[in-house]
Structure 1
Amino acid sequence: MRKLQMEDLNRLSVEDFKETEKNNFCIILDDVRSMNNVGSAFRTADAFLTDKIYLCGITATPPHREIEKTALGSTDSVAWEYHENIMELIEQLKVQNYIVLAVEQVENSLKLNDFQPKTNQKYAFVFGNEVFGVNEKVVEMADNCLEIPQFGTKHSLNISVTVGIICWDFVSKLLSTKNLN
Structure 2
Amino acid sequence: MKEVVVLAHNIRSTHNIGSIFRTCEGLGVKKIFCSGYTPFPTFQGDKRLPHIADKLTRQIAKTSLGAEKIVPFLAIQDITEIINKLKKDGFDIIALEQTPNSVILPKLKTNPNQKIALLLGEEVHGITQNLLKECDYSIEIPMFGQKESFNVSVATGIALYKIICDS
TM-score, structure 1 length as denominator?
0.82
- Larger relative CO (CA 8 A, sep 6+): 1 or 2? 2
Query: Once the 2 structures are TM-superposed, how far is the Cα of residue 126 of structure 1 from its aligned partner?
Result: 0.5
AA aligned to 1:37 is N
Query: Once the 2 structures are TM-superposed, how far is the Cα of residue 171 of structure 1 from its aligned partner?
Result: 2.1
* Moved >2 Å (runs of 4+): none
Q: Residue 151 of structure 2 is aligned with which of 147, 158, 166? A: 158
Q: Name the counterpart of 1:122.
A: 115
Correspondence list, 1:30-179, <5 A: 30-63=9-42, 64-173=57-166, 177=167
**2-structure distance, mates of 1:28, 1:162:** 14
AA aligned to 2:84 is E
Query: Once the 2 structures are TM-superposed, how far is the Cα of residue 128 of structure 1 from its aligned partner?
Result: 0.3
TM-score, structure 2 length as denominator?
0.88
Contact 2:2 2:112 in 1 (8 A): no
Q: Bigger radius of gyration, 1 or 2?
A: 1
**2-structure distance, mates of 1:76, 1:147:** 30
**1-structure distance, mates of 2:116, 2:163:** 10
**1-structure distance, mates of 2:105, 2:118:** 12
Q: Deviations over 1:114-159 (max 9, x none)?
A: 1111111100000100011012111111000001111221111001
**2-structure distance, mates of 1:84, 1:136:** 19
Count of residue pairs brought into register by the alignment: 153
Query: Once the 2 structures are TM-superposed, how far is the Cα of residue 165 of structure 1 from its aligned partner?
Result: 0.3
**2-structure distance, mates of 1:87, 1:136:** 13
Q: Which runs of 5+ in 1 are unaligned?
A: 1-21
Q: Name the counterpart of 1:24.
A: 3
Contact 1:23 1:50 in 2 (8 A): no
**2-structure distance, mates of 1:157, 1:67:** 20
Secondary structure, counterpart of 1:141 in structure 2: coil
Contact 1:24 1:122 in 2 (8 A): yes
% identity of equivalent residues: 34
- Give the alignment's Cα RMSD to 1 decimal: 1.1
